[in-house]
Structure 1
Amino acid sequence: MLYNALLSLTAFMFCLSLFLVHRASVLENDFRKLQGDIMLQLNQPHSEGVNGKMAKMSKTREDIKPSVFQKAQSSLKISSRRVKREQNSCRVPTSFLQLRPNTNKQPDIRGNITVIPWTVSAQKGSTISQKENRIVVQEDGYYLVFGQVLFESPSTVMAHVIRSWSSSEAGKKSTQLLCCMREMSDKTYGNTCYSSGTVYLLQDDELELVIPDRPGALISTDTESTFFGVIQLN
């Protein structure tokens, strides 16, 4: 009896083992097939779709970039031209004034100082004007001051001085700005003395060119030889 039971149990276990082995084989085949399908989906359809989409997106970007860049560049050029036009329209022209000797008047001798009578040779703007034999500036700022005198006195040392007059509580104050000194030759009766420089001037400052310590100075009154002027720099 016991032997028959053991024999039946052994047969049952053997059949169960065969069944399990079979199921394991089927499951393994299904798993490999499913794995192959997944790999196929990943390597072919999905890749093609991604690449195609990326290519389309890249192409779209390439199509858009030049158009956007051109519009931005065009807008920048228009803005730049507009700014330049506005700057040019608001720019104040530079003022200048140049004087030449007045041949209808004689030099004015004040003690040991000789003052050349001047008249306007060239002028632009309204910030620099003439007042008698002086130049008056109407705005604070930097100015280029220049002067030249052609002396015709032989065998002596000649010079000219450019000075400014400023108002103060004590009255008018004189400041020497430029000076030119020239030793005349015995053989040549004509010698040019030129000076120039950049100075900072205040509103209502007056400038004049004088010849010191030479009351009998002989000078040329030609426009290209003797002149005095100021140019506004800012």
Structure 2
Amino acid sequence: MIYRALLSITAFMFCLSLFLVHRATVLENDFRKLQRDIILQLNQPHSEGVDGSSKTREDIKRSSLQEAQTLLKLSASRVKRELGSCRAPASFLQLTANTNRQPDIRGNITVIPWTVSVQQGNAISQKENRIVVQEDGYYLVFGQVLFKSPNTLMGYIIRSWVSTRTGTKSKDLLCCLQEMPRDYPANTCYTSDTVQLHQDDELELVIPDRPHALISMDADSTFFGILQLK
């Protein structure tokens, strides 16, 4: 996963370099063409206007200047549009279960210890086993847990913690429930959704009412993450 992230960043920088070289070449050609047009117009003899009055050299210069300004505006607008199509990739963060630690039991709640698997950008960070949002916006939040408990139903909740004047309050964002097989107690529970989050919001994944839940700590089985939507 880290290799894919580095490959994505390298590809973006290569794309941006090619784009800048291309735009520099296009702008240079535009200026050369504009320079040739101005020289041709300045070397033309005085011509009669529609109303019969002669067009002076100052009129030609003024007209050429207006054409140059129009061309520069069109070139700048084209550069902005093409830069927008080659902008920086969105931030994302994925956590996987920390195999060096055991799940934390807090009353009737089980909390999975997480470690950073892959990360990109500055809009998202990790703090004390939680995901912290650094920028307002819309995000894709996702999670998966592989349960190995012989209970009838297993599941988890992804909730957000929001700071208020009176302290912090929690809000349930996503809920995942999965029925366990009778013969072989092993089943994954996956969920995801697009949510609006604000700066300093904190997300955590907890397993309620299952203090002795058996969980797979493999990276490809249990994970928790968020993706910034641009």
1-structure distance, mates of 2:91, 2:179: 34
2-structure distance, mates of 1:153, 1:208: 21
Does the C-alpha gap of structure 1 residues 138 and 76 become closer, same or farther in structure 2, counting only changes over 3 Å?
Answer: closer
Percentage identity across paired residues of the two chains? 66
| Residues 178-219 of structure 1, C-alpha deviations (whole Å, 9 max, x = no match) | 001112111122101011101111100000000001111001
Letter of the 2:174 counterpart: L
Alignment of 1:167-178 (within 5 A): 167-178=163-174
Match for residue 206 of structure 1 among 176, 182, 202: 202
How many positions carry a matched residue from both structures?
160
Partner of 2:154, secondary structure, is strand
Q: Does 1:105 align with 2:84?
A: no
What's the RMSD between the two structures over aligned residues?
Answer: 2.1
Q: Does 1:83 align with 2:80?
A: yes
2-structure distance, mates of 1:86, 1:108: 47
Structure 2 portions without partners, runs of 5+:
1-70
Partner of 1:136, secondary structure, is strand
**Hey, what does 1:166 align to over in structure 2?**
162
**Hey, what does 1:96 align to over in structure 2?**
92
Alignment of 1:53-72 (within 5 A): none
Residue 150 of structure 1 and its aligned partner are, at CA, apart by: 0.4
| Residues 146-183 of structure 1, C-alpha deviations (whole Å, 9 max, x = no match) | 00000001142111000000000121100000001112
TM-score by length of 2: 0.65
| Residues 132-158 of structure 1, C-alpha deviations (whole Å, 9 max, x = no match) | 210000011111000000000114211
* 4+ long deviations beyond 2 Å: 74-89
Letter of the 1:86 counterpart: L
Letter of the 2:95 counterpart: L
1-structure distance, mates of 2:181, 2:85: 51
| Residues 63-90 of structure 1, C-alpha deviations (whole Å, 9 max, x = no match) | xxxxxxxxxxx9999666523343356x
Structure 1 portions without partners, runs of 5+:
1-73
Q: Does 1:180 align with 2:176?
A: yes
Q: Which has a greater percent of helix? A: 1
**Hey, what does 2:211 align to over in structure 1?**
215
